[in-house]
Structures are given as C-alpha cells and as structure tokens.
Amino acid sequence: MTTTHADYQLSQLDQLEAESIHIFREVAAEFEKPVLMFSGGKDSIVMLRLAEKAFYPAKLPFPLLQVDTGLDFDEVLSTRDNWVDRLGARIHIASVDDAIANGVVIDDGKTSRNRHQIGTLLNAIEENGFTAAFGGGRRDEEKARAKERVYSHRDEFGQWDPKMQRPELWSLYNGRIHAGEHMRIFPLSNWTELDIWHYIDREQIEIPSIYFAHERQVILRDGMWLSLSDAVQPVGNEQVETKMVRFRTVGDKSQTGCVESTASTTAEIIDEIAIARVTERGATRGDDRFSEAAMEDRKKEGYF
C-alpha cells in the first residue's frame, strides 16, 4: 500500500488494483457460478493475485479453469501448480486432446491449437454451467479490445456481438443474463502491459521462468523465434540456434515466439518494455498475424 496520506492520493497502480478488486467482489456477489480462466501467463497470474486480495483471509469463492492445449510449457504448468497449492484453489482442466477425441472440436490438421481452445473452452463453460468467466484481456493489447466492456455479454453460443454490448457507466456493472448465456469479465481492462510488470515487480509475484532471459534452442520461422520442441522441428533450410531469449506472452509451444533478450529480472524487463517498439502480440503471437482483423474474428467466436 503506497499512499500519501497527507493529501489522500492513491497512485495509479493502487487505483487500478482497487478497481479490479471491486470487480472481483461484484462478480462473486452477483453471479451464481463464476470461474477464473487461467492461462498460466502473467496476466492471469496478476488476476489471481488480485482475487486473492479481494477475498482474503477467505479462499477464492470460485475455481480456476485451464485449457490444456497439450503443448503447454512445463515451466508454466509448474508455476500454476505452485499458485494452486498456495491458495488452496480448485482447478478444472479442460483438455484440447480430450475435446478432439470426444468430437467436441474437429482437428483438420491445419488449424492452430489456439483456435481449438475456443471450442474446448466453450464446451467446458457449458458443461460446468459457469455463468461468469474472468479473463485476463486488457484494452491496450489490440485495437479490437479497446471497445471491450468489463462485463462482456456472450450469447448461448458463447459469441460476442459488438453491437449487443451493454453501455457501462460509473462502476455499476450489469450482470443480468438469461439461462445458457454467460458473461466474460475483464478485471484488467484498464491495465497496460507496463502496469502489469510494475505490479509483478511491486508484489513480488511468481511468474513462469520463461518470461526471464535464458538460453534456449530456437528456430527462426516467419520472422519469429520459436522454441525447439516436440511441436516445433526444423523444416527445409531452418537452422536450430542457441540464443539468449525470453517470452513476452505465454501460449502453446507451436505458436508462441520468444524475443532475444538479456533481461533476467522484473526491473530489467520493465526497462526493456519501456523502450520496446513493437506490441507484445504483434511480436510474438503467430495467431494474431493472419489478418488485420484476426482478433476480432476470434473474439466473436468466443476467444478469451
């Protein structure tokens, strides 16, 4: 808590924290069955920290939901386990492989794992009857998200209709839904990437080690460094190289690129980001680069 009590000023980071905690409490109070969508990335970990603060000393009044792509980084899974253990939280795992095996999603061999997550996720929300799902989306990430509400209404097909979103005034959130519909909740709407990192730094929050610079065998593909793994093997003229890298976002291994970096602490990452000239998604997410409106399309289908 960093306040100047003399003039009752709250720093911008404390204001963001207070706003997010307010959102968590509103949802917990008004929705029958909320769930926190946990990707293992830094944003969903910050969400977890805020939720922890919102209900302390009680445990989280909702479970976590993770979509297991089958291509997750081990470092991400172990950080997840540490968080779940420490908070005594409940977690549902929805597996893309199971969803494919059960025919819930169809693998045509061409579609990315990230896209298959949509069907898997919607199926898990429907099967468990979740009425509100917290997501770590931020409005500064991408143009299509600048108009996203904190409470984002999804119809019974899990779809987002930009024209049907409700006006959102003051801090009065409207959580009314019909049976079969659900609400996506974005408590980090007003946070920027830099805010997230400053918060991680200030709160000493544990995040997966792949965010920090480390040596890794990588392959340059479409201008992006991909990690050598069972999912990514060199094809054609591609060379395996060893580089000092770190990840700026966490997705599945086949899609998430890393950047060359020597930043090994949160403070160094903050310095690096402050002078970075490319947005985090544009740099390292293959799935956002297919078309200018890629994110908008996936959002309409029910992406995070």
Partner 1 sequence: MGTPQTSSDHGQMDLLRFATAGSVDDGKSTLIGRLLLDSKSIFEDQLEAVEASSVSKGYDYTDLALLTDGLRSEREQGITIDVAYRYFATPSRKFIIADTPGHIQYTRNMVTGASTADLGLVLVDARQGLTEQSRRHAVLLSLLRVPHLVLAVNKMDLVDWSEEVYDKIHKEFTTFATKLNIPDLEVIPISALQGDNVVTRSENTPWYSGPTLMHHLENVHVASDRDLVDVRFPVQFVVRPKSDEFHDYRGYAGQVAGGVLKPGDEVVVLPSGMTSKIQGIDLFDQEVAEAFPPMSVTVRLEDDVDVSRGDMIARVNNAPKPSQDIDAMVCWMTNEPLKPRQKLQIKHTTRTARAMVKDIQYRLDVNSLHRDQDTKELGLNEIGRIQLRTTVPLLCDPYSKNRTTGSFILIDEATGVTVGAGMINNAS
Site for partner 1 in 271-300 (CB under 8 A): 271, 274-279, 282-283, 292-293, 296
Q: CB of residue 81 vs partner 1: minimum separation in angstroms?
A: 22
Q: CB of residue 260 vs partner 1: minimum separation in angstroms?
A: 16
Task: Tell me the number of residues near partner 1 by CB under 8 A.
Answer: 74
Scanning residues 216 to 255, which ones bind partner 1 (CB under 8 A)?
A: none
Q: CB of residue 48 vs partner 1: minimum separation in angstroms?
A: 13
Q: Give the one residue of 46, 54, 105, 258 binding partner 1; rule: CB under 8 A.
A: 54
Q: Give the one residue of 140, 155, 238, 301 binding partner 1; rule: CB under 8 A.
A: 140
Please state, in angstroms and rounded to a whole number, the distance separating the CA atoms of residues 298 and 160.
9
| Closest by CA position to 116, among listed 125, 106, 103, 126 | 106
Phi, psi of 216 (to 5 degrees): -150, 150
Q: Does 108 bind partner 1 (CB under 8 A)?
A: no
Q: Give the one residue of 43, 75, 195, 252 binding partner 1; rule: CB under 8 A.
A: 195
Please state, in angstroms and rounded to a whole number, the distance separating the CA atoms of residues 118 and 137.
15
- 61-90 mask for partner 1 (x: CB under 8 A)? ------------------------------
Q: CB of residue 268 vs partner 1: minimum separation in angstroms?
A: 10
Q: Encoding tokens for residue 150?
A: 């904190």
- 11-30 mask for partner 1 (x: CB under 8 A)? xxxxxxxxx-xx--xx-xx-
Please state, in angstroms and rounded to a whole number, the distance separating the CA atoms of residues 70 and 156.
27
Longest Cα separation, the chain: 65
Q: CB of residue 203 vs partner 1: minimum separation in angstroms?
A: 10
Q: CB of residue 175 vs partner 1: minimum separation in angstroms?
A: 9
Q: Which one, 9 or 242, has the nearer CB to partner 1? A: 9
